[in-house]
Structure 1
Amino acid sequence: MKAEIELELQLNRRKEVGGYRFLKKPDEGLLDFSSNDYLGLAKMKSIHDHNSNFVDNGAAGSRLLSGNKSYHEELEGFLSEFFKAKSALLFNSGYVANLGVLSAVPQKGDTVLIDELSHVCIKEGVRLGRAKYFNFKHNDLVDLEAKLKNSEGNVFIVVESVYSMDGDLAPLKEIVALATEYEAAVIVDEAHSTGLYGEKGFGLCCDLGLEDQIFARIYTFGKAVGAHGAAVCGSKILKEYLINYSRQFIYTTALPHYSVAAIQNALTYRMHHPELWSNLKSKIDLFKALLKKEINSLESKHSVQGIILQSAEEAVHFSNYLNRGGFDIRPILSPTVAKGKERVRICIHAFNSEEEITNLCDHINQYFK
């Protein structure tokens, strides 16, 4: 077919520039330095074993039809308390939650300002809406303020608390101060801080005491929480509005009971085990200390680490070298990151032993020797 021939041509072009993607199952023989399971909760059987408490295999409908169950409402009550919010609304993933908020809330005539390194779901969310949107330079408060001065209508500032490719933090206190000055609303994607920051793992906004000054917070449970799904936390008005106007909520089959139970079990476990985060931080410090200073590594203090290479080909070559050394580590290529910023993304986990981290750093140091 003509259409299929065109698709093949596009795939070949991507192969030529070294950016071809393909599915690869984790090799059981490799040490996990790749997944977002930062605390190891996804592998903890006690959190996910619910066979003795069977309710149903699926909600069997959207929340506005037959799919609204007591277990959804109970979890939302738990989440609103856990994340210090007036309300919480469940979505099926962080990707979908960002689409659901950003396509529905900003209106025609409004302005959305997005950090240029925000996840693609944030950018796609505003494209689905009717508001004007502009990028501002990454974590650049001067550029953000310049764009705030020229914004019209209701203004929304959208950032991630922790950026998934660089592992750096947004300057949330300063962003909130600017938002207050210019009467803008702040929306924060907490995907990579959920379960980590704060004594109980309630994310960076709560850890900084900013929860009451943030318009909407999106929490993802597929990273450090080790489960699946997401929640939008904010005011009761925001929740009611999303129930009425967010297409991604209205027309989606609700999460099944085992996903809901896993979320609450994992967050409850994290809440009672603050040592998980302190243990992870010590592993991150060890990795940073053992890596040679001249290596072009990220400045991140988060679980997300990485080595910047010069090209896609070099990132793939380095990744293959680490795989041969016994480490499950993947290359990150353009367009996920900018050309010239290709890298291997290394995730340090609480379950990685000091010996494993030392061995990894030895391999990295030897490669660049």
Structure 2
Amino acid sequence: MHNLSHFQKALEKRKNEGTCRELKPKSDGIDFYSNDYLGFARNKDLQNLLLKNVLDKPHLLSGSTGSRLISGNSSKVTSIENFIAKEHQYPSALLFSSGYNANLALFSSLLTRHDSVIVDEYIHRSVHDACKMSDAKKLKFKHNDIGSLEQVLKRQNKQVYIAIESLYSMEGDFAPIQEIVEISEKYQANLIVDEAHAFGVLGYGLIDKLGFQNKVLATVVTYGKALGSHGAVILCNDLIKSYLVNFASPFIYTTSAQNFQWMSIKNGYDFLKSSPEISKQLQKNIEIFNKQELKTFSSVNSPIKSVLISDNQKLKALQDCLFENGFLTYAVYSPTVKQGAERLRICLHSFNTEEEIVELCGTIREFI
């Protein structure tokens, strides 16, 4: 008989704290919590485009049959990687089945025991997990704090990597990329940027917008958010791509996704370029939210708005109140965030109406 009591105790502790996670069916309501910023996951025109491609080429739905180094590579995925690299103005691109896998591959393979990696304290969990898979020394700097980053950089005598997100998913604020690029160059550190939440929201992301492709070692773009699809890509030079293909275990030892996934990403790019009005509508909705003057610590142009509710019980009551009024939001409790930093995370979308945004903000304002 296995002794599983320690698992039970850990779960009981979370239940007592009111932070135990459970899988639940998708709720009906007004979406203010998904990452579908442009509504592509529900867009009928895009769905019909995908359907037409499948009807024309049903073999796209078949499994890839193996890893890309054995039988799972195809001319389709190769041509789409070349297309993505050209679109983002990078020499190379390497596709992955998810953003989590992309970060695992990138950080676990590039970092060695001779290296240090300095991460923003709010970097995505996938980066922390990837660092555990390497032997590198991991250090943190205070969120978006250039002074803190420089203090950590000054103490390093190894090869250094810096890891940041361009738009942080829980804070809803942008990284000061211009300043971080300058300091990384000053200390000859390699910069890696995760554009998961900025891609599609601000064109192809902040690195593209600033023209910094040759100033970063690699950029990670994910497709399960604004593109309404699934998967991710690492944008880099030819050397880094070849190194990843040879040394990144999450790439080498996983079965490749089916060609339908890669094709849906290509269709998503085409749809993004042909539908600029959708991105413009998202920006209008962000402006409508900002006019409600609801106190938030998120960036003005961000579609992610975090409202501080520094008490788990009060936050739970607010989320329940919103749900009863038909609004789907996401509450972030401690210890997921520090005690006193609990917040309601609101995601704005192109498909949200002005009436919905105004009513949501009014309900929150009355509650707090």
**What TM-score do the two structures reach when normalised by structure 1?**
0.95
Equivalence for 2:356: 356
Match among 138, 141, 144 for residue 146 of structure 2:
141
Task: Please give the alpha-carbon distance, in whole angstroms, between the structure 2 residues aligned to 1:343 and 1:2.
Answer: 39
| Count of aligned positions | 362
**Residue 315 of structure 1: aligned partner:** 315
Could you report, residue by residue, the CA deviation over 1:98-134 in whole angstroms, capped at 9, with x for unpaired residues?
A: 1100000012111100000001111111111011110
**Counterpart selection for 2:178 from 173, 184, 189:** 173
Matches within 5 A, 1:38-49: 38-44=37-43, 45-49=47-51
In the other structure, the counterpart of 1:54 is 58
**Deviation of the 1:324 alpha carbon:** 0.2
- 2:15 corresponds to which residue? 15
> Structure 2 unaligned runs (5+)?
none
1:5 match? 5
In structure 2, distance between residues paired with 1:89 and 1:278: 29
After superposition, the C-alpha distances for 1:182-211 in whole angstroms (9 at most, x for unaligned) are 1111000110011121xxx21110101111
State the match for 2:200 in structure 1: 195
Q: In structure 2, what is the equivalent of residue 330 of structure 1?
A: 330
2:82 is the alignment partner of 1:110: no
CA distance in 1, matches of 2:49, 2:179: 37
Q: Amino acid of the residue matched to residue 54 of structure 2?
A: N
Cα contact 1:158–1:188 (8 A) shared by 2:
yes
Distance 1:354 1:328 in 2: 16
- Runs of 4+ residues over 6 Å off in structure 1: none
Q: Which deviations, in whole Å up to 9, do the C-alpha atoms of 1:317-355 show, x marking residues without a partner?
A: 111110001011121123332221111211000001111
Unaligned runs of 5+ in 1: none
Shift of 1:160: 0.3
Does residue 1:277 correspond to 2:279, yes or no? yes
Number of the residue aligned with 2:30? 31
Q: Deviations over 1:219-245 (max 9, x none)?
A: 100010110000000100000000000
Aligned-partner SS, 2:59? coil
- 1: CA distance, partners of 2:151 / 2:104: 26
1:9 partner letter? K
Equivalent residue number for residue 268 of structure 2: 266
State the 1:270 CA deviation.
0.6
CA RMSD of aligned residues (A): 1.4
Distance 1:117 1:3 in 2: 35
What's the CA shift string for 1:52-82, capped at 9, x where partnerless?
1222421111000100011110110111011
> How far apart, CA to CA, are the structure 2 residues paired with 1:113 and 1:297?
24
TM-score w.r.t. the length of structure 2 is 0.95
Shift in Å at residue 296 of structure 1? 5.3
Could you tell me how far 1:276 is from its partner in structure 2? 2.0
Secondary structure, aligned partner of 1:3: coil
Question: How far apart in 2 are the matches of 1:183 and 1:64?
Answer: 33
